[in-house]
Chains A and B, each alone.
Chain A
Amino acid sequence: MQQTFGNFVEQENGDEYLVIHFSPTSLPLQQRWRNSGLSADFLAEYWSTFFPAHDVSSRNKQLEIKGGINYIANELLENIMKYSYLPADYPVSLGLCLYQDEFKFYARNAIDPDAVENFQVRIQALLAEDTQTLYLQQVEQNAANAKSIGSHLGLLTMINDYNAQLAWKFETISQDPEIIVVTTMVQLAL
């Protein structure tokens, strides 16, 4: 069974792409966490080769692209690590593909079946409502609630601060045991 939200496009790797693929259960989260930063730094540096800097304008462009890749890759990897449903013992991955006028990120992880409904409600709000308003509301809510654990700002910052387009695909990989995999697609225009 499959369900998509937003303008989801299947991953077609093309000529230039990288994929990081790992098991979410092979290392404790505390040890694994540093890899999200390492990976994001690497991805940003790697793709900057395709945007050489030879004057002020191209240098600024390179910096902007590196910054966008670094931030989005880091957030997607942190989300994979935080929200991956470990009992499914299903591998996770982050793919990054370069096209002529954009990058497409694909983050894939198993999700707690009990969390799917709430997540889809949230996704529908992100796609339908004014995300600037949602952003400021979430920030104020976080400040008012001293005990809030997650910031819930990762996706909102991508949309509002980086003008990224987001879409999702949910797939039921297995019924018994129930394993549902979500793919988050992020499009970052060049």
Chain B
Amino acid sequence: MEIKGTNYHVTYDSTTATVALQGTLRLRGINEYDPIVELLDDVTAQEPETITLNLQNLQFLNSSGINILFKFVIQIREQGSSKLVVRGSTKIPWQKKSLQNLQRLMAGVQLEWGE
């Protein structure tokens, strides 16, 4: 599964159950984020043992985008079938500021930091 936008790229590798978001995401509200939300819904529905969310190349995310990531995490939490690993980058400022909230939303979220 793949979504390509002007400044962003979202992929899902089902062999490793890894969703990767890359580029810059500044979409306007829930309607424009719909295709990405649908991709994330499909990932959750497959119920892999561990879902990996790779954000290491996501340079910017607006609050509407942060909201859909939180929704994804809550969905995984409510379904109860999958563990979640989130890969972030210490070089990307918004991640150092906002990703820790994921651990407040779902106990056991593993946050891994790379450069």
Q: Do the beta carbons of B26 and A36 come within 8 Å of each other?
A: yes
Residues in chain B near residue A71, CB distance under 8 A = 60, 62, 93-94, 97
Of listed A139, A142, A148, residue having the most chain B CB within 10 A: A139
Chain B residues in the interface with A (C-beta under 8 A): 24, 26, 28-31, 60, 62-64, 66-67, 70-71, 74-75, 91-94, 96-98, 101, 104-105
Please judge, given known A-B contacts A135-B101, A149-B29, whether A63 and B93 are in contact too, CB under 8 Å: yes
How far is the CB of A71 from the nearest CB of chain B, in Å? Answer: 6
Main secondary structure of the interface of A (DSSP, over half): helix
Say whether B26 contacts A63, CB under 8 Å.
no
**Assembly CA distance A67 to B92 (angstroms):** 8
Bound form: Cα–Cα A93–B28 in Å = 20
C-alpha gap A30/B32 in the complex (Å): 11
Chain A residue contacts of B26, Cβ below 8 A: 33, 36-37, 74, 78
Q: How far is the CB of B115 from chain A (nearest CB, A)?
A: 12
| CB-contacts of A1-48 with B (<8 A) | 29-30, 33, 36-37
Which residue of chain B is the closest to A163 with respect to CB atoms? B97
Listed stretches A83-91, A99-107, A121-129, A154-162; interface member: A154-162
Q: What's the nearest-Cβ distance from chain A to residue B63, in Å?
A: 4
